[in-house]
Chains A and B, each alone.
Chain A
Amino acid sequence: MIYLDNAATSWPKAPGVAEAMTAALDAGNPGRGAHDQALDAGRILLRVRTRAARLFGAAPERVILTHSATHGLNLAIAGLLNPGDHAITTDLEHNSVLRPLYAARARGVELTIVRSERGVISPDAVAAALRPSTRLVAISHASNVLGTVQPIDAIAQLCVHKGIHLIVDAAQTAGLLPLDFTQTPIAALATGGHKSLLGPAGTGLLVLGDGVRPRPFEVGGTGEDTFNESMPAALPEALEAGTPNVPGLAGLAASLDVVLSAGGTHLARALTQARRLRDGLVASGRFWTPDVDADAWGVPVVSGLILDAAGQPLDVADVADALAQRGIAVRGGFHCAPSVHRRYGTEESGMVRFSPGHLTTDADVDAALAAVREIAGL
């Protein structure tokens, strides 16, 4: 199989992930008991937090273990907004950001969606949308359809000077691009563990900046403070109700070790292949891709439409299926990003997305290009 769907989930996972997960099936319930199995589970959670804290420059107690980026975004957005507040987001967002904000809007939050230009959100556009009641800005670090990276540092500076929380959806960048809380004043960063962090599905991280304290999104058992009718006061457990996914988190701890030791080399390899793929598709003359700022394109995602001899787009589902029949995994559709498709006029067609990973080879890309040419009738 040639796997070009790493923006959906990475494959293969990092070395050691499967073994760590299997071993953790023998672990107990962390914080619930002090026998060896329960303690082993607690140690696994500590390993994840300390490694994530290193990766993002945050204190371990501010690393909240979630089951997905979406979970973390819900926690941050629902937990920081109140009726009457104003929130800002962008037309590049995934539904993991948009739907929690639409739900907040239904509870009385006012929402502004800032328009991108060539795949990029200008800090000036965010500044122009600010109101006295603006409490939160939520933005993806990189578009999951366009691959464009947003100027988070500038937007963070804008927000911090006005006391506004900046929530960053790092689903497409965590493990690829640096984002350090000691350098950039972010209120919260959410990511899944299963994309470029190379861990298993069902894991995620919400990293909180100093002093940022969302209300609990879920309440329940934590193994602590049993007679308290509310969640315990201390982070991280205050935001972690219920038994965690210990095997998944063991896998994530193993993958974080690999990511930390790789020191950013994953991005360079994946981006090189993505660039080869994009250039080859464009050179075929049978590919349409949104016009984005080339300087902002910075994660290995290439999306667009395959065209027939008459220049008409082929059905993206047919293209994805035809590639799958040739052993090439891509994703066709809307990628949970409705406003990106409205912006580029693909709300009816969708787009085919190719997302190489750090193990994608020249031969993989060459085979994918040959397959596309064949499907396009070249």
Chain B
Amino acid sequence: MDAGAIVVTFGSTLDAFAFEDAARAAGLPGRLIPLPTGIAATCGLAWKLPSGSAVELLAAVEGMRHEGVYRFVDNAYVRLDA
């Protein structure tokens, strides 16, 4: 994982694909990836924003269901929305 990348996790596969749809519509950068091993989540897919992205970008898809938001820092995932 790229240092500084932001990862969004989901409670269901549907939520992951609905998020992708909304992200594309809103111009949010990123893509669906396999859920990183260091994160526990229900769905095996996650949305990865490019390294260095500001978490505020997620406001573009406000209201889309997700489980958690993490940043990869010092080889660990730090939850940003806890």
Contact = CB atoms under 8 A, between A and B. Distances in A.
Interface string B6-19: 00000111111110
B45 interface: yes
Contacts of A236: 12, 14
A8 interface: no
Q: Is the interface of A mostly helix, strand, loop or mixed?
A: loop
B14 A224 contact: no
Contacts, number: 58
Interface stretch (A41-49, A158-166, A360-368): A41-49
Contacts of B11: 233-234
Contacts of A235: 12
Interface residues on B, range: 10 to 19
Interface stretch (A15-23, A27-35, A277-285): A27-35
A39 interface: yes
B17 A224 contact: no
A34 B33 contact: yes
A60 B14 contact: yes
A232 B42 contact: yes
B44 A61 contact: no
Contact of B32 (A39, A222, A224): A39
A293 interface: no
10 contacts: A30-B13, A42-B17, A42-B45, A43-B20, A45-B13, A61-B15, A232-B42, A233-B11, A235-B12, A236-B14
Interface of B: 11-18, 20-21, 32-34, 42-45
